[in-house]
């Protein structure tokens, strides 16, 4: 499995593991990864199978992806860790934190909801013509205001950058990701089993995982911390990178 | 499922990249005329310097006014990001030096703006970057010119001065088969007439001095990255694939993926070469961009009418414009430039060198100067100005004769422009 920074020794560490969402890769985490590295924390931003530099075949269920990551962690003797997941990555984090709760110190779910419903028409588009699915996911993935720009990160046009990342993912990968999100079940029971410190970072203008759809999930966790970013859509790390980092720093007491 | 409706060019050219000022509610983009930006605390300063937080440090590298312009041109071109530079030449230099260095090679079209030609032919070889100039209308020559150390293909959407229409699809296919990027100078066309990324280009730059601004009051450049080229596919691009000592061993491809190029260009080129655009210039270019569609529509309409007028004029020997059926790229222009083939073209006046000079000196509305893309109509006689060092043979090779006149058609009243041309043509051979 590819992870960034690939030059770092990871054996026997207790890292923060960053898990990206549908059609994305590790580069969505570049800013927070750089922060925690500067603070001498162990961090790993992984590429899920079929994404970015990970040439393994994409998997189509959240539990299978979680098992895939567990296998990688076991091979590297990583017993305890924290997870930061965005969108699909947040469900993977939830699955891992409920399956082996004793191993997970903290869980941050960014841009999340349960159930994470996916429209049938979008699934069909992803199956038949992934460019339309990419266009829809990008369109819905940003707040109206962010679609016009005003990026905090100077000179980068957000929506096209997101499209380009998704275009990099292999054939059928976006469909598998979306299907994995749609099929993920027992989320509330799983949330109840989590022992880790839980944080949810939600965008007030998220059209893909609207904040009201995270309500049941919030109630199922024990004492979760909910952080809302006003005005942000679903692409919180692009739209509000500094606020996301601020909340992650809070979670990891940095 | 239908494709969602993204905002169109006319809307983006007014809004992209800008948000109403949150402090005072200013609707226009404020001019952040400041060299540097205050850090609220030491940790934030360290965070921004370390590229773990978004923010501004110093206006040579980024500035909020420039950032609006950079997003705007990215949105209009369909790119992922851009950098504003001191001039179009600075944008070209930045594009090349971000990926190439000593012992590298460029394959460029032989039909280039003189300034670009000078940079490639005379200046860059001093830094170990050499260029082969070939006819981009001949794909075999392009393929044949690619060497082991070639790192870039480069041409203009509309070549200078003969308006060669670049077959971007064809040239980009050749580039990509050789794992090379294609850089395109899109100054003459602007995103209103053509979007080179849709046809396969990887990088685009503009002299924003020209049509993007329209007012002719600033010098500026814009370099735009499509984010489509796979920089990890070719070991030649060491600046993007190997740790960069100048930024904490950053490996740009690993940390930025599709935006590796534009990030390196900013973190190295904008920082070290320092050819930045002033925020005031960025503001003025933004004012120009707001009316890009309106101006381009009028530029094209006026150009087409003047091309018709001159084509049938008894004092005119020939007119070169891609929309004329005798132009070598007539079919290609119809296909990839349906909205028009730009507002700059050349014609040959009857008589010789003296007729050309006399014609220009007799014009009143057309301004005699070395620029194009102004809202005001412009004219130049290449043989006595931009190409005056060339002998007849060299002029012929460059597609220029002693009686070639170049016009950049503005947006004045068409009848006034025709009358000005008519009177000057009368004077030319008297």
pLDDT of residue A54 exceeding 80, the answer is: yes
Q: What is the CATH number of the domain that holds A28?
A: 3.40.50.1820
Count of the separate structural domains present in chain A:
1
Query: Bridge-partner residues for B347, per DSSP?
Result: B319, B405
Q: What is the pLDDT of residues B244-286, one digit of tens each?
A: 999 989 999 999 999 999 999 999 999 999 999 999 999 999 9
The distance of B248 to chain A (nearest Cα, Å) reads 10
Q: Which CATH architecture has domain B292-428?
A: Alpha-Beta Complex (3.90)
Quick check: B70 and A154 CB within 8 A?
yes
Candidate from A140, A152, A161 with C-beta closest to B258:
A161
pLDDT score recorded for residue B402:
83
Per-residue confidence (pLDDT) for residue A46, from 0 to 100: 97
A160 and B228 within 8 Å at the Cβ level: the answer is: no
Residues of chain B numbered 160-199 and touching chain A (CB < 8 Å): none
Q: Tell me the DSSP string of A65-103.
A: HHHHHHHHHHHTT---EEEEEETHHHHHHHHHHHHSGGG
Cβ contacts below 8 Å, chain A against chain B, sum to 144
Average of pLDDT values for B304-324? 96
**Residue A254: predicted pLDDT:** 78
User: Is the sign of the CA dihedral B271, B274, B275, B279 positive or negative?
Assistant: positive
Residue B354 has a pLDDT of 86
User: Is residue B401 over pLDDT 90?
Assistant: no
CB contact under 8 A, A135 and B3: yes
| Range(s) of the domain holding residue A192 | 3-251
Cα distance between residue A118 and residue B5, in whole Å? 20
H-state helical runs in A30-186: 30-38, 62-75, 88-99, 120-128, 130-140, 144-147, 158-168, 173-183
Q: Which residues pair with B232 in a beta bridge?
A: none
Best of B42, B56, B81, B243 to disrupt the A interface by mutation (most A CBs within 10 Å)?
A: B81
Residue-level pLDDT at A7: 80
> What is the C-alpha separation between A171 and A182, in angstroms, rounded?
19
Q: What pLDDT shows up at residue B21?
A: 84
Encode pLDDT of B17-44 as tens digits: 998 888 899 999 999 999 999 999 999 9
Mark yes or no for CB contact B3/A155 under 8 Å: no
pLDDT score for A76: 95
A147 touches chain B (CB under 8 A): yes
Average pLDDT over residues B373-402: 82
Are residues B228 and A30, on separate chains, in Cβ contact within 8 Å? no
Determine if the peptide bond prior to B95 is cis (ω within 30°): no
Q: A177 and A24 in contact (C-beta within 8 Å)?
A: no
Q: Average of pLDDT values for B144-170?
A: 95
On chain B, the residues whose CB falls within 8 A of the CB of A8 are none
* CB-based contact A35 B53, cutoff 8 Å: yes
Highest mean pLDDT, choosing among A240-249, B111-120, B387-396: A240-249
What per-residue confidence (pLDDT) applies to B374?
A: 96
Residue B2: pLDDT band with limits 50, 70, 90: confident
Contact A149 B72 (CB under 8 A): yes
- In chain B, which residue's Cα lies nearest the Cα of A156? B81
Binding-face residues of B in 260-279 toward A, CB within 8 A = 262, 266
Question: Are B256 and A30 in contact (CB < 8 Å)?
Answer: yes
pLDDT at B353 over 90: no
pLDDT at A67 (0 to 100): 98
Per-residue confidence (pLDDT) for residue B352, from 0 to 100? 82
This model of the complex carries an ipTM of 0.96
CB contact under 8 A, B254 and A6: yes
Six-digit token string for A169: 């993912």
Residue B210 CA to residue B201 CA, distance in Å, equals 21
Q: Do A150 and B17 touch (CB under 8 A)?
A: yes
**With left for phi above 0 and alpha for psi between -120 and 50, is residue A12 left, alpha or beta?**
left
The 10s digit of each residue's pLDDT in B213-233 is 999 999 999 999 999 999 999
Which burial class, exposed, middle or buried, applies to B148 when counting CB atoms under 10 A from its CB (0-12, 13-18, 19+)?
A: exposed
CATH class of B9-289: alpha beta
Parse chain B into domains and list their residue ranges: 9-289, 292-428
Nearest residue on chain A to B261, judged by CA atoms?
A156
Looking at chain B, the whole-number percentage of residues with pLDDT higher than 90 is 87
Q: How far apart are CA A169 and CA A211, in angstroms?
A: 27
Rounded mean pLDDT of chain B?
95
Structure tokens at A4: 């960034």
Distance from CA of A59 to the nearest CA of B (A): 22
Whether A160 has its CB under 8 Å from any CB of chain B: the answer is: yes
Determine the average pLDDT of the residues in B274-301. 98
Give the range among A66-70, B161-165, B278-282 with minimum mean pLDDT. Answer: B161-165
pLDDT reading at B74 higher than 80: yes
């Amino acid at each position: 499995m590819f992870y960034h920074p690939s030059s770092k020794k990871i054996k026997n560490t207790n890292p923060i593991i960053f898990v990206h969402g549908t059609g994305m890769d590790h580069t969505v985490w570049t800013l927070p990864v750089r922060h925690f590295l500067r603070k001498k924390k162990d961090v790993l931003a992984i590429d899920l199978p079929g994404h970015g530099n990970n040439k393994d075949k994409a998997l189509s269920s959240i539990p299978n992806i979680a098992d895939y990551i567990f296998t990688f962690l076991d091979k590297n003797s990583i017993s305890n860790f924290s997870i930061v997941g965005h969108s699909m990555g947040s469900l993977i984090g939830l699955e891992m934190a409920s399956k082996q709760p004793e191993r997970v110190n903290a869980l941050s779910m960014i841009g999340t909801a349960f159930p994470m419903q996916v429209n049938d028409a979008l699934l069909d588009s992803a199956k038949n013509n992934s460019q339309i699915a990419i266009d829809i996911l990008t369109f819905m993935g940003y707040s109206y205001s962010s679609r016009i720009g005003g990026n905090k990160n100077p000179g980068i046009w957000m929506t096209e950058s997101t499209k380009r990342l998704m275009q990099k993912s292999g054939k059928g990968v976006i469909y598998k990701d979306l299907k994995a999100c749609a099929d993920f079940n027992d989320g509330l029971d799983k949330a109840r089993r989590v022992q880790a410190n839980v944080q949810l970072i939600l965008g007030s203008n998220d059209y893909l995982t609207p904040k009201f759809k995270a309500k049941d999930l919030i109630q199922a966790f024990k004492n979760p911390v909910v952080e809302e970013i006003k005005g942000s859509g679903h692409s919180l790390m692009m739209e509000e990178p500094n606020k996301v980092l601020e909340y992650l720093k809070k979670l990891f007491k940095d | 499922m239908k494709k969602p409706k993204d905002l169109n060019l006319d809307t983006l050219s007014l809004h992209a990249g800008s948000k109403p000022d949150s402090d005072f509610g200013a609707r226009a983009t404020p001019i952040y005329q400041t060299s540097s930006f205050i850090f609220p605390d030491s940790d934030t300063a360290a965070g921004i310097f370390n590229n773990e937080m978004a923010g501004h440090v110093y206006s040579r590298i980024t500035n909020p006014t420039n950032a609006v312009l950079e997003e705007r041109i990215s949105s209009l071109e369909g790119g992922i990001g851009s950098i504003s530079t001191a001039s179009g030449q600075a944008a070209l230099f930045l594009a090349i030096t971000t990926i190439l260095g000593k012992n590298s090679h460029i394959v460029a079209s032989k039909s280039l703006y003189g300034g670009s030609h000078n940079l490639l032919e005379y200046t860059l070889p001093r830094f170990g970057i050499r260029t082969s100039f070939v006819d981009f209308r001949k794909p075999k020559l392009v393929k044949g010119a690619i060497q082991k150390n070639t790192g870039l293909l480069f041409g203009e959407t509309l070549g200078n001065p003969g308006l060669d229409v670049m077959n971007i699809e064809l040239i980009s296919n050749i580039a990509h088969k050789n794992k090379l990027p294609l850089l395109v100078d899109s100054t003459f066309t602007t995103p209103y007439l053509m979007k080179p990324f849709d046809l396969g280009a990887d990088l685009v730059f503009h002299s924003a001095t020209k049509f993007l601004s329209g007012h002719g009051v600033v010098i500026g450049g814009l370099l735009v990255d499509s984010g489509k080229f796979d920089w990890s596919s070719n070991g030649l691009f060491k600046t993007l694939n190997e740790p960069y000592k100048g930024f904490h061993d950053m490996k740009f491809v690993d940390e930025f993926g599709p935006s590796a190029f534009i990030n390196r260009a900013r973190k190295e080129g904008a920082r070290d070469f320092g050819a930045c655009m002033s925020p005031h210039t960025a503001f003025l270019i933004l004012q120009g961009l707001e009316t890009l569609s309106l101006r381009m529509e009028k530029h094209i309409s006026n150009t087409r009418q003047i091309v018709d007028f001159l084509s049938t004029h008894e004092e005119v020997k020939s007119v070169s414009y891609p929309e004329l059926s005798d132009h070598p790229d007539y079919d290609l222009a119809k296909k990839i430039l349906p909205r028009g083939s730009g507002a700059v073209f050349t014609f040959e006046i009857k008589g010789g060198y003296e007729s050309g000079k006399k014609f220009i000196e007799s014009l009143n509305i057309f301004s005699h100067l070395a620029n194009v893309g102004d809202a005001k109509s412009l004219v130049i006689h290449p043989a006595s100005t931009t190409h005056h060092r060339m002998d007849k043979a060299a002029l012929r090779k460059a597609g220029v004769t002693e009686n070639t006149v170049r016009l950049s058609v503005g947006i004045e009243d068409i009848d006034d422009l025709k009358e000005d041309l008519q009177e000057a043509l009368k004077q030319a051979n008297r």
